[in-house]
Structure 1
């Protein structure tokens, strides 16, 4: 059995079809074990014998769409991939906060881009790309009244097969995975 995290795109916790209990129900119904949720924004941890991640992503997405009407994307990372990402310490010496909002944008594709075009906003900067985790790592300054539109910019550059999580959420997911 492999321990996975499903990072679901487009989850609105206020939507009654997208509650954690309903999301967990879809995963349990697919026969996965150790199903749990982390915060109310579409992070489901589970164990499965499958190792074909693209097939697993498709299977989960089809079930979410059929059972709950959720058309968004499903991006999966193994516990080992997330552990290696966190252990790499891509934000050395920084603490997640309003002025240093630490984020990772995960790509569904088999690999993340090797380069990211410049994002022309002093309130956001890319600090690196983790090729193994297929993630772009960035810092956003949310301490001013102006919020950079970094996520929309990434989506415009790379399409909708991406999803972003805060560094704190990634750490919580990893902790839940044991």
Structure 2
């Protein structure tokens, strides 16, 4: 059995409103065990003997079937998630700034985001399957990366979490 973190894309923002207790019940019904949700923004811990890819596919199918929306999930075993958090290349807590990790399942999309951030002069760095970035609190949605994340092209292969949220998931 492996402990996974599943990150649901676009939950409880932009019109997809789900109760985390309902999400946990759907995941349990899908065969995952020891399901626990963290915060209301689509962060789920679960146990499964399946591969990471199978966890993602099963979670997406279960959410689509139960809630009728175009569900996208990125999943990571907790050891990988801990390494991603530890490898954050910038100062973690900068006053008046957000520290983010964008999880990216498509290497081509990751290349695009890295180039976009560099071209815009934003504080960002490539990690192993992630884009690390930091932005002033008031500028997130107006940043090049922030504007890009809402585009349809990126929905199936990306989701972003604040570093503080990752730390809560890992506790």
Q: 1:34 to 1:15 in 2, by over 3 A?
A: farther
Deviations 1:59-102 (A, max 9, x none): 111110011113131100110111111222422x34055x2210
Per-residue deviation, 1:114: 4.9
Match of 2:93 among 89, 92, 95: 95
Distance of 1:157 and 1:11 partners within structure 2: 15
Distance of 1:8 and 1:145 partners within structure 2: 20
TM-score by length of 2: 0.83
Distance of 1:169 and 1:145 partners within structure 2: 16
- Unmatched segments (≥5 aa) in structure 2: none
Distance of 2:139 and 2:153 partners within structure 1: 27
Match of 1:140 among 126, 131, 135: 135
2:29 aligns with: 29
Q: 8 Å contact 2:8–2:72 — kept in the other structure?
A: yes
Distance of 2:36 and 2:170 partners within structure 1: 12
Per-residue deviation, 1:13: 6.6
More helix by share: 2
Q: 8 Å contact 1:112–1:135 — kept in the other structure?
A: no
1:8 aligns with 2:5: no
Distance of 2:161 and 2:54 partners within structure 1: 23
Distance of 2:41 and 2:83 partners within structure 1: 23
Distance of 1:40 and 1:125 partners within structure 2: 27
More moved, 135-144 vs 146-155 = 146-155
Q: 8 Å contact 2:9–2:71 — kept in the other structure?
A: yes
2:81 aligns with: 82
Deviations 1:123-150 (A, max 9, x none): x421x1111xx11000011246984352
Per-residue deviation, 1:155: 5.4
Distance of 1:157 and 1:13 partners within structure 2: 15
Aligned residues, how many?
A: 168
